[in-house]
């Protein structure tokens, strides 16, 4: 479920709060939750008393681990329910798109796990805060899907092409690396949340989006200086130059080959190699193709492209099999449609862009 509440401020305005409250699934979203969030955001956009939005997950483990993948599996496998999967992806992507354009400041408190659609919510927010427990990932190749919720665009905007490496290997960024890569704006201690709330209460909110956004930025920067976050050791940053070299160029097979052949002492890179090797070859090719096409598209067109790719993914491809293997039967032995990226490239993904 998702809950909503208002936080009153000293000058009589209100901050609207979105509380993702499905801790049993690490605050994963389902279709009903997406629809409720969209409805409230539309209402708050027109409400002059609402000056900002705060998004967070209930509990200490997760901001949001993405979509409720098990619910999507049953929508894919039970007769007559495929439309629910279509609706979930289309409406989730639209929600994240609207967040990118929201006229009022949106503060995402990104504590804990931030994956898939959860990263989509974070990426769409104007003010992105991580804590010492944050872990960011787009791990979709492991379940036969692709990095979505606009990630075809915003992953490519991360520094030193690390976004390309992330979608090819399902790797994670901790809070230190998220800041360095440009995936987050501030890091604050997890236990600083109540102090942040008190600070939000004291701000002289004006109701003018740009002015309020600047004030919120100043507040978060002040907290960041006054309450340093106990950040974990960097994992990507020490090998950032190597990663940039590994993913350079436009030949996917060469890139995959370089990553696989890399000899390194970095445990983070070694895990990336293993995840790439066991991910869906078709998903790797589809993710690559989406990112390449996104270079020349505006954001609306990118979202439309991802919606179409998702409609294909729920009908054919590796998504159903990946969820079965990872989350339903848990045998962790998915039978992918292709044995290698080379085979998947030969087969091609052009059909993923045909109307469904």
Q: Which two tokens stand for residue 76?
A: 């894919």
Spatial strand order in the sheet of 106-110? 2-8, 14-20, 50-57, 106-110, 127-130, 186-187
> Taking all residues of the chain, what is their mean pLDDT, rounded to a whole number?
97
Check pLDDT > 90 for residue 352: no
pLDDT at residue number 162:
98
Model pLDDT for residues 335-345, shown as the tens digit of each residue: 999 999 999 99
User: pLDDT tens across 38-75, in order?
Assistant: 999 999 999 999 999 999 999 999 999 999 999 999 99
pLDDT at residue 355 is higher than 90: no
Say how far residue 343 (Cα) sits from the centre of its chain.
Answer: 28
- Confidence band, pLDDT 50/70/90 cuts, at residue 351: confident
Structure tokens at 117: 């659609």
If residue 19 lies in a helix (H) or strand (E), which one and from where to where?
A: strand 14-20
Structure confidence by residue, pLDDT tens digits, 80-114: 999 999 999 999 999 999 999 999 999 999 999 99
CATH fold label, 2-353: 2-enoyl-CoA Hydratase; Chain A, domain 1 (3.90.226)
Q: Report long-range pairs for 264-273 (Cβ below 8 Å, ≥24 apart).
A: 264/239, 266/235, 266/238, 266/239, 267/235, 268/171, 268/235, 268/236, 268/239, 269/239, 269/242, 269/243, 271/171, 272/165, 272/169, 272/170, 272/171, 273/169
Show Cβ contacts of residue 286 under 8 Å, excluding neighbours closer than 6 positions.
146, 309, 313, 317, 349, 352
pLDDT tens digits for range 263-299: 999 999 999 999 999 999 999 999 999 999 999 899 9
Specify the 3-state DSSP secondary structure of 60.
Answer: coil
Place of tokens 């894919």: 76
Chain centroid offset of residue 104 CA: 21
Which pTM does this prediction carry?
Answer: 0.96
Cα diameter, the chain = 62
Structural domain boundaries in the chain: 2-353
Is 201's pLDDT higher than 90? Answer: yes
Quick one: pLDDT at residue 313?
A: 96
Angle at 344 between CA 89 and CA 79, to 5 degrees: 40
Q: How many CB atoms lie within 10 A of CB 330?
A: 9
**How many CA atoms, within 13 angstroms, populate the side-chain half-sphere of residue 225?**
5
Least Cα distance to 95 among 59, 134, 129, 66 occurs for 66
What confidence score (pLDDT) does residue 19 get? 98
Q: Which residues pair with 50 in a beta bridge?
A: 14
Q: What pLDDT does residue 349 have? A: 85
With a cut of 90, say whether residue 350 has pLDDT above it: no
Percent of the chain with pLDDT over 90: 97
In the predicted model, what is the mean pLDDT of residues 304-332?
A: 95
At residue 228, the 3 state secondary structure works out as coil
**Residue pair 319/332 in contact by the 8 Å Cβ criterion:** no
């Amino acid at each position: 479920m998702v809950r909503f509440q208002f936080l009153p401020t000293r000058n009589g305005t209100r901050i609207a709060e979105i509380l993702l409250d499905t801790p049993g699934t690490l605050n994963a979203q389902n279709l009903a939750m997406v629809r409720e969030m969209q409805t409230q955001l539309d209402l708050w956009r027109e409400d002059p008393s609402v000056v900002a939005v705060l998004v967070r997950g209930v509990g200490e483990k997760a901001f949001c681990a993405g979509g409720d993948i098990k619910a999507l599996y049953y929508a894919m496998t039970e007769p007559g329910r495929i439309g629910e999967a279509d609706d979930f992806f289309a409406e989730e992507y639209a929600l994240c798109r609207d967040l990118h354009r929201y006229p009022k400041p949106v503060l995402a408190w990104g504590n804990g796990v931030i994956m898939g659609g959860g990263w989509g919510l974070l990426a769409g927010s104007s003010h992105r805060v991580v804590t010492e427990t944050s872990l960011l990932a787009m791990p979709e190749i492991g379940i036969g899907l692709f990095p979505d919720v606009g990630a075809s665009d915003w992953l490519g905007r991360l520094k030193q092409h690390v976004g390309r490496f992330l979608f090819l290997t399902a790797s994670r960024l901790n809070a230190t690396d998220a800041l360095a890569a440009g995936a987050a704006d501030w890091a604050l201690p997890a236990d600083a949340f109540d102090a942040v709330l008190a600070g939000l209460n004291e701000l002289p909110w004006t109701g003018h989006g740009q002015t309020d956004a600047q004030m919120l930025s100043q507040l978060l920067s002040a907290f960041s200086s006054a309450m340093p976050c106990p950040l974990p050791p960097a994992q990507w940053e020490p090998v950032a130059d190597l990663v940039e070299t590994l993913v350079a160029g436009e030949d996917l097979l060469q890139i995959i080959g370089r990553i696989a052949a890399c000899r390194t002492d970095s445990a983070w890179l070694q895990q990336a190699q293993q995840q790439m090797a066991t991910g869906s070859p078709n998903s790797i090719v589809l993710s690559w193709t989406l990112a390449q096409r996104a270079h020349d598209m505006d954001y609306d067109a990118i979202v439309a492209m991802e919606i179409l790719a998702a409609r294909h993914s729920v009908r054919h491809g590796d998504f159903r099999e990946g969820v079965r293997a990872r989350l339903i039967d848990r045998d962790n032995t998915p039978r992918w449609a292709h044995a290698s990226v080379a085979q998947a490239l030969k087969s091609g993904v052009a059909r993923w862009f045909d109307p469904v």
